């Protein structure tokens, strides 16, 4: 039994949720999100409450039960308050700028790194702090992870991208003889 799937999600005022033909649509003050669900899980929408029940009692149905419940909660939360991820870029000469829908980064390579910014993600750069904002939790998380993977923080000086709440374990360098 899924503990997450059994929970009933309350829909806040100003947010509308509809489920038609396997597509869950959530509209709120910040925008609209849609996600396609397989017919393995039944979506029950009663007034201002949303719940899920598995149609098939097999491992796949039970696994999607909690997953779909979490997706719906994230969608409802996202259209009311956007998700924010922050990355901090440390290192001498490391910098970046937003040019249109491209993020141009200088990360110590022989060439600049250009990354296309997804349409649903907003990027703000202030003094080495990169802020990614979106109503879609999956989009903002995957884009932040993609940017971090370009230059992961190294353990000796801590140079590279790190999350704002991430702590880098530092290693001791060479000792002088």
Instruction: Tell me the per-residue pLDDT of 151-172, one tens digit each, with 9 for 90 and over.
Output: 999 999 989 999 999 999 999 8
pTM of the model: 0.90
Confidence of residue 177 (pLDDT cuts 50, 70, 90): low
Residue 11's contacts (CB-CB under 8 Å, 6 or more residues apart) are 17, 48, 49, 50, 76
pLDDT reading at 1 higher than 90: no
Average pLDDT score over the chain: 92
pLDDT at 63: 87
CATH of domain 83-163: 3.90.930.12
pLDDT reading at 61 higher than 90: no
Span 46-61, mean pLDDT? 89
Q: Which residues of the chain form beta strands (DSSP E)?
A: 9-10, 16-20, 23-28, 31-36, 41-46, 49-54, 83-90, 95-99, 102-106, 113-116, 122-126, 129-134, 160-163
The torsion of the CA quartet 141, 142, 144, 149, rounded to 10 degrees, works out to 140
Confidence of residue 77 (pLDDT cuts 50, 70, 90): very high
pLDDT reading at 89 higher than 80: yes
pLDDT reading at 82 higher than 70: yes
Question: Which CATH class, in words, describes the domain spanning 3-80?
Answer: alpha beta
Which residues of the chain does CATH 3.90.930.12 include? 3-80, 83-163
pLDDT at 162: 94
Percent of the chain with pLDDT over 90: 76
């Amino acid at each position: 039994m899924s503990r997450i799937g059994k929970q009933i999600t309350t829909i806040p005022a100003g947010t509308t949720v509809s489920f038609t033909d396997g597509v869950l649509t959530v509209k709120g003050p910040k925008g609209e999100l849609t996600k396609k669900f397989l017919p393995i899980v039944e979506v029950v929408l009663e007034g201002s409450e949303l719940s899920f029940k598995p149609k098939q009692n097999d491992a796949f149905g039970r696994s999607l039960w909690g997953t779909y419940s979490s997706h719906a909660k994230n969608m409802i939360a996202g259209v009311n308050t956007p998700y924010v991820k922050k990355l901090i870029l440390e290192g001498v000469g490391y910098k970046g700028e937003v040019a249109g829908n491209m993020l141009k980064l200088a990360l110590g390579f022989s060439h600049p790194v250009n990354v296309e910014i997804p349409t649903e993600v907003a990027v703000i750069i202030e003094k080495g702090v990169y802020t990614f904002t979106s109503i879609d939790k999956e989009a903002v998380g995957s884009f932040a992870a993609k940017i971090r993977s370009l230059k992961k923080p190294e353990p000796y000086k801590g140079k590279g991208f790190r999350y704002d709440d991430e702590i880098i374990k530092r290693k001791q360098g060479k000792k002088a003889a």
